[in-house]
Amino acid sequence: MLLEKERQLITKYGNKLIELGITRQTGGNLSIFNRNESLMAISPSAIPYSKISAEKVVVMDLNKKKIEGDNKPSSEYELHRIIYEKRKAINSVVHTHPTYATTIACLKEEIPPIHYLIAFAGLKVPCASYARFGTKKLAKNVYKAMGSKYNAVLLANHGLISVGKDIKHALTISEMVEFCAELYYRAKAVGKPEILSKKQIKRVIENLQDYQKKQ
């Protein structure tokens, strides 16, 4: 089986999305890119995460060719592909529909640095312009908002994308963003949130980078 390790991880982390409550039913998708093989393991379309086995995970190249797997790949393949093509340090993409982050996305707002843990995503979490799911336009909008600076982006009226060096890292970023989104939502409900400065968040980003180097 091609990319057996990656396909096993897709099944494991797909179930984690449901356990964490950051997506529902068959919503969202996730992938891992093996740069040595230039192949992507991506979750299949329209199959509940609890029923996805490693064999059902689809293996694709970055030219839209299905290499292995009988199922249809996630409709968001283009979104995953553009990130792997343009972000060489990124090896996993996780797309979720967490309640608070998606609420902010439905307001077409970004998540400002309300808490230092936003540093996992960057200086803030920007919001990509709306486009229909599964389209090249959405993929382009996401990358335009994400660029090389951010590890997470809200999708207007849709959800959240997070990226990382591996799937554990990408999912951790999703969790941190949802935590910050909830804080932002709750703080706005009772008053005007105090926002950390760019200088303060840059310092935290530097601390995180030093910590990750030691791991």
106-137 pLDDT per residue, tens: 999 999 999 999 999 999 999 999 999 999 99
Report pLDDT for 212.
66
201/204 Cα distance (integer angstroms): 5
Per-residue pLDDT tens digits for 141-177: 999 999 999 999 999 999 999 999 999 999 999 999 9
pTM of the model: 0.94
Looking at residue 211, what is its pLDDT?
62
Task: Give me the CATH number covering residue 35.
Answer: 3.40.225.10
175 is known as an active-site residue: no
Q: What's residue 215's pLDDT? A: 58
pLDDT band at 208 (very low <50, low <70, confident <90, very high): confident
Is the pLDDT reported for residue 196 higher than 70? Answer: yes
The pLDDT of residue 161 is: 98
Give pLDDT, residue 214. Answer: 56
Residue 61: pLDDT over 60? yes
30 pLDDT band, cuts 50/70/90, is very high
Given the residues 76, 78, 178, 182, the one annotated as active site: 76
CA distance 181 to 115: 10
pLDDT, average across residues 42-48: 95
Cα–Cα nearest to 180, from 193, 167, 168: 193
What is the model's pLDDT at position 139? 97
Q: Name the CA dihedral angle for 144, 88, 166, 177, rounded to a multiple of 10 degrees.
A: -20
Output the average pLDDT for the chain: 95
pLDDT at 102 over 70: yes
Structure tokens at 57: 């995970």
Percentage of the chain lying above the pLDDT 70 cut: 97
Q: How many domains does the chain have?
A: 1
Name the residue among 154, 142, 167, 152 with its Cα closest to residue 40: 167
**Residue 100: which domain range?**
4-214
For residue 95, the SS3 value is strand
